[in-house]
Structure formats: C-alpha cells, structure tokens
Amino acid sequence: MPRDRKDILDLPRSGGNVSTIARFEIEYLQYLNAEAQAVGELPALARDRERLVKLYQLMSLVRVFDSKAIALQRTGKLGTYASCLGHEAAHVGIGAAMQKADVFAPMYREYGTQIYRGVKPREILLYWGGDERGNNYANAPHDYAWSVPISTQCLHAAGAAMALKIRKQAQAAVCVCGDGGSSKADFYGALNVAGAQQLPLVLVVVNNQWAISVPRHLQSGAQTLAQKAIAGGIEGIQVDGNDLFAVHEAMDTALKRARAGGGATLVEMVTYRLSDHTTADDARRYREDAELEEAKAKEPLLRLRRYLSDQGWWDDEREQAWLKTAREQIDVEVEAYLSTPRQPVGAMFDYVYAEIPEELRAQRAAAIAAAERAN
C-alpha cells in the first residue's frame, strides 16, 4: 500500500546533521473587507477624498468601456476582446502607484492601468479591431505593446529593468501576468534574473482564479503564487486584489524599493474574473453559477463605492451623473475608433523587416492586387 504524504515526510533520515538553514513566510495585505469595513489602520490614500473619488471614477469608466467593447464585438465592429470585468481595483491600483517615467509591460486586459497612464480607449479599440497603430500609444511611448503570448512580457519588463539599472535611472519596470501565466518558463526566467541581478522590477500576478478553463487549484500546488518569489530571492506578498487600498499600498512599497536599488518584488493580487476569458470563450461550460455569484458580492467597484458612501463622499445622484459622463466620454472614443480610416493592405508588410525579403515582397504585391480586384 502506498504511503500517504505524512508518512513519507516522517521517514527517518540516515545519518548526517540535519538543521534548518532558512525560513520564509508570505504576508497577506488587506485594508477593506468585502463589506467595505476597515480591518486595520487605513493607509493615507483612504483619507485623500479628491484622489480616491477620481480613482473610483476611473474604475467606473473602465467598466463602461469594457461593456461597450463587448457590444462592439458582438455586433461585428471589433475583433476578439479580452474583458477586464472584476479587475478594476488591481489595474487602476497599479497605474496609480506608478510614476510616468516607469515602464509598463501589460498582458492584454490591463486597460485601467493603461488609461491611467495616458493610453486612449480609441487606441485599445484599434488594437482589438486588428489595427496595430493602436499599439503606438500617443501618451505612453515608452510602455510596451499588448502581449497575447502568455508571460513573454515578463521577459520584456526584466530587460527594461536591466537597462534602467545599467543606466542608473531611478525608475522601475512593471509587468502583469495571470495565475496561469505564472506557470510559464518566461515568468520564471524573469523572476530568476530579477533576483540574481537585483533588478528594479515589479512582477504582478493577477490571480483571477482561472487560466481560461483551468482552475487555480490545478495550475499549481503552491499555497500562494506569491511564494514563487522565494525561489528567485526577491520579495513576495499576496494582497486582496479587490481592495484598491491594498493594491496601491503594495505597489507603492514595491516600486519605491525598486527605484531605490532594493531589488524586485512579486505581488500576487487575488481577485476573480467575472467575465468570460475573452469574447471567444463561454465560461458557463466550466464554471458554476454559484461561484460566480459569490465572487460578485466581493467585486471591487461595489466595495469602494460602499466605502465612499460611508464617508459621505459619494451618493446615488453623483453615481448617475458620473455614469452619464462616462458613457458620453466612451461614445466619443468609440466614434473616433469607428471613423479612423483603414490602412491599405500593403501596410501589414511594411514594418516587418527593415529591408523586405523578396518572397515577402511578392506576397505584398499579390495582396495589394487582390484588394484592388475586390474593390
């Protein structure tokens, strides 16, 4: 009969001097519980009425944008789209803690971070509409393009962090991946070099419980994803990803440490994906309705709105007025996207090589000719 795990761990060791050479622990950070009640002394952000209202408004704007983008996809005006529903506190909190000079390497749904950093919603729509000009951010030129290949952006951010260190620039690089992405070799490679070289890097794992259809418990045997930092020799912390205060405080601490030469940090943000993985997915096929409903009760906008209302800083009248403004702003962005002239067919070949190879030149000519015949 096979031994159970405890029996295996309790097997006697043959000889030698056994001693403990290191111990580790992972902290969990939360300020507001699901009922928007303080669970400890609140950080400075919680007392900054003006900034907090603006951050809530951005979170709400992002949700309006997200809903509009899905509607555009469903009506054939946008390609496959990755929703950020339920991630608003994590994403806006990341952006709010960063400085403009920091470098951001996103995954493919961090719209709250990007809009905070100056990316226009119309640029996001252009990208998901198949137009690579959306990746050429007008107001965030040193941030990286969206990365659909899983976790390759972690290596990009590590490279940027290495450059910042070599240049002795007091800046940091930030990348985001999901819980599933933290199992990729690209993630571990970035983690390892960040620790070995003491890079000014913050690796964020937005743990939304699902890697498409694979649940968190099947992805890793680790109790937390933050503890993966231990293997890399960097700091690691797990936070409530639905608590804007916790997200911002953890990111602010990690970024200040990085800019001061204190090395890298892994921040695991525990949240929940309230949407399908993308518009090409149907989460009803693998996720129980009861699980989704339980997660909705803990979602970030509801929590922060309750806090603001309890402070007397927000009410239903302000909510409705802001939602009207947000819809108008997003409508302007949608119109800008829809009215953007399409690029000519040949443009898809023009920026692949500095000098286009002969076989690609022939393909370009054939594509242009086919387009002209179709018109």
Enumerate the active-site residues.
Answer: 273, 277, 286
User: Taking a C-beta distance cutoff of 8 angstroms, is the pair 46, 249 a contact?
Assistant: no
Q: Cα–Cα distance between 87 and 112 in angstroms, integer? A: 9
**Pairing, β 235-240 against β 27-29:** parallel
Q: What is the residue-wise DSSP string for 225-276?
A: STTHHHHHTSEEEEEETT-HHHHHHHHHHHHHHHHTT---EEEEEE----S-
Provide the β-strand partners of residue 317.
none
Q: Cα–Cα distance between 65 and 334 in angstroms, integer? A: 9
Three-state DSSP at 127 gives helix
Query: Comparing C-alpha atoms, which of 250, 117, 106 is closest to residue 181?
Result: 106
Q: At what angle do helices 88-97 and 49-74 cross, to 10 degrees?
A: 130
Give the containing element (helix H, strand E) for 211: strand 210-211
Length of the chain in residues, anyone? 375
Q: How far is CA 332 from the centre of its chain?
A: 25
DSSP percent split of the chain into helix, strand, coil, nearest 5: 50, 10, 40
User: Taking a C-beta distance cutoff of 8 angstroms, is the pair 234, 266 a contact?
Assistant: yes
How many helices (H) and strands (E) the chain has is answered by 15, 8
